[in-house]
Structure 1
Amino acid sequence: MAARPLVAASSVPEEPGRLASGTGRERSCLTQGERERDVTATPPAQAPRGSAQGKPGNVVRACVIGGLCARVPDWPQGRTNYSKLCVPTERAAAVHHGWRGRGSMLYSQRSRPRHREVTGPQPHSVAVVAKFPSSRPRDFAILERRRHEEAREQILTFTKLNTTERVKNKWARVTDQKLLHNMVQREVYRTMEEYKMHLNERRERLSTLLEREEMAYIKEMEAMEETTLERQAKMRERVKSLREKREKERMDFIAEKRDQQFREQCEELRSLRSQIHLNEVCTERMAQIVLKEELNRQRKEEDTIFDQLWEQDRLAKEEQEEKKRQKRIELNQEIACLQKAASEAQKMQEKRLKEEESKLMAEEQRLIKLEEERNLKEKQQNKLQVKSMLEDSIRLKMKRLAREQQEELALDMKILEHVMQGYQDDTEEKRQRKMELRKEQQLYREYLAQQLEEEKRQEREMDKMIEAELEKSWAKKSEQMRKEKEARKRLMKDVMDTRRVQIQEKLERNAKLQEELAHDKELLESATEEHKQLETDRNARQMKVAQQYQRDLVSQVAYQQSQRQAEREEEQREFEAGLTAEKAYQNKLREILSRPYVGHENIHPLRRGRISSPKDWLPQ
């Protein structure tokens, strides 16, 4: 907006202070020491010809009294009482002098909302109370934004470091596993190579030993080759040894036959041998009876000892089985308690994770709801601001129109009173005066019309300027609000994104914990099943061992019984064989006694006579 030249006010006594630029509608923040300011009027070049502003002595003033800016309209010179126009109102004076206390204020004034705009003593005179400086610095939003960005950067840096550390740990774990696997593979390969090397060495040794044995056998076969003379000598030696062996066998047979003949023919020898044999049989029988009794006694003692040992073994095994059963029951109870505790802990962990997940979901829903409420509140605040701005504008316009109508009505009433009073005084002089007054009134009306038209034009220009200023201020304010809103939105978005990331990480961590708990549960179930399977296998093995032991005991008892039965049968067979042999011996003895000489074809002829008459040589 271009600066306008200053117009001096010669007909009005100047107040202490100085004039300031701006019209009565301009809004300015004034200090307590400033009393009056110059008013910038329209330049003469821009004013229309014949207007009130183009005449000397017609000025527009703005009285600044106690922080209030009051607009003074342009009246003709000599017809304006500026002392009345520049007198501040009671409210302005009270604001200026500071005696507007709590006790002197009316109830309606105390209860109405306070605002910065204060109206002056004349129409279109408005002042704005200075604002207190803000406690926050101008770059508060920037600093807050930077602080949130730094916090977000720290969170992102921490998350990135955590992810990097997790990746490093995973890489280290996988590398350790690979190193262990490769080390085991190398050890297995080295062991297999050593085994193959030892196997090859053994094969080489065995092949060398086989070659040596083959060479030794070949040399031995070469050394065992016989000549014809050696073969003939060996044959002669063989024939000679066979002849000697056959002669020896014949002589032995002859000696045996002669001895048999002597035994068969010697009566005394037979009687002595019979007596000796009978004595031996009786002695052996008594020894057999004693031995049988001793064996029976030993067998009974062994049976008793075995029964005692078996009973002790049975009691010891029963006691051991009872201890094992009690130990197994205690172990099963302990394992069941551990499994129950683990299951309860797992259930509590799952419940805690579900509750935490539900809390996180509720918090996420709450954040979404808060964001929606914040957006709705911002929309409502924007609507209320626009509505209040429109209402204030309409209210100010209605007040201005009402004041203008009241002023025009008061002016018309005053003119009508003067006219009516003039018609009542019907003298010639007064009529002449009235005519002059009427002309003056006509001129004054024309002047008022022109002044009103000029004021309307100025009002329109002022409205345009104010609207432009308001638009600029509103544009600036809206831009600032938009920036603040965008900053708040970005900050809220960052906070919401960070919170969502945290919630998502917590949900992922909870899901991972649930997976680990499920895996631990599967491991626990598999360990339980494996323990049950091991218990079943152990019981089956113990049952199998017990059954085998029972079968061994039964087989041992059966074997001992079969041995005893075989011994009894053997004894019975020996006894029957002895009886049979004794009976055969007696029969043979009787037969020999009945036939003393058998096979007497080889007897000497001199003895045949005696054999034919045995009564001569047999004892009487």
Structure 2
Amino acid sequence: MNSGRRTARQEEELHVQRRNAELRKQEQWSNVAQYFKTWDVKASKYAYWTSPQYFQQSEEARVEAEKREKKKQTLTDRKEKLKRILDSEQSIYEEEIKKLNRSGKSGWMPLEELKYVNLELKRRSEESRKREAELLLYQRWKQEQPSLRDLERRQHLEFMKMSWIDQVREREATKERQREEEALRAKEEELKRKEEERYEQLCKERKLEEVKQTKQQMKQQMDAIEESVKKYKELEKQEAEERKLQSEIEEMITQRKLAEQKQANKQLMSYWTRQYQLKLQKKAKEMEEEIAQDQKMLQRLEDEFNEEARAKTEAREIAKKEMKLALRELQTQRQRELLRQKEYEHMFFEEAKRAWEVQEQKWAQERQARDRLMSQVLDVIKQQIEEKLKRNSNARAEALEDRERLLKGMNQLYEQFNEQEQEVKQAQKQYRNQLDHQVTENTCEKLRKAQEIAEEKLKWSQAESEAEKRLVEEMERLQLNNNNYKPKDFRRQRMKF
């Protein structure tokens, strides 16, 4: 029973723990979700605040607020100004009312003075009417006198003649002035046209000069590209020669190793023989052949170095010196081996045996020294070749980069050249159209002006003929010439009080 209760309690505790764990997980998940939601909102707000749209909206809101504030301030100032104007007008109105009240009280005039003023006005009116009546009587008297009317008529006719002549002269002067203005305007237009043509010509020459410079630059770029390609091919050729020399050196080294191995096998085969004299002679001959082969190898390398047109750098001079020293040393050893061969021909057995024992060790030392010398020389040459190949590879890479750069510049110049050609063609086309338009306008304008001048000349000739005819008729009737005559003014005069 106790165990059963304990099991139920444990199940209940496990259930409670499980429920608490789920609650904690749910709470943790809610916190995490709330955290991400909060930061999502903050990030979106921050992104919105830092976006150009928010800046534009805030700027528009600021401008709108400034406009509202300015409008409000303007309205306030306007109200204040209207208030000041209203107060000023009110004060002026009150002052006027006060003045009117004061003048109404103090402007009272007695009746006798008013009668005197009335009589004075009547007297002045009578005098004015009297003067007008006298003037009218005088005019009527002048009109009734035949001699005065005849004189006035002749004076009026003479005045008309002089006025007509003045009008004709004024018209002639106006026509002359118009012709001068038209000539001046035509001259200015011609100068302007020439100036425009000169400017267009300068622009055209400048464009052509730019095109010429672009062509020159393109030619220079092409020469540079050809030079780069030539340099690249020379570098490829030099690299091929260096590779060939390197392979020859490797082949020489391989042949030398094979020869050494072959000599070692031959020596092993003849080791057990006791013919020391023959062994010495054979060994001396073999050593002489080895030395001759090494000497031939070095001589071949020296010939290769002398045949190639290389820059005399310090490293190459050292390599040449090493080869010359090695050649001299090999020549000395070869001469020594030849002398030994001659000596070994006349030796006895015991003497040859002792010489073999001594000479075998010397030959081994000499071979080791010769191997070291040849290895040193070949290592120097191989190092020189590797350095040359590396420099050649770098130079080829630089040549390729220069070629790419030059091709890119060439393409840019070609595009610029095409644009300049299009501009020149467009300018020429526009200039031709402008000239055609100007020629058409000038032709139409000249035709119109010629037609207007012809019509005006016809009108003036008709008017002049009529005027001359009328003038002749008038001059036949006129006999009096008075320059001081003025025509009568028939306008109604105003009354003066």
Q: Which has the larger radius of gyration?
A: 1
TM-score (ref. length: structure 2): 0.39
Of Structure 1 and Structure 2, the greater helix share is in 2
TM-score (ref. length: structure 1): 0.33
Higher relative contact order (CA 8 A, sep 6+): 2
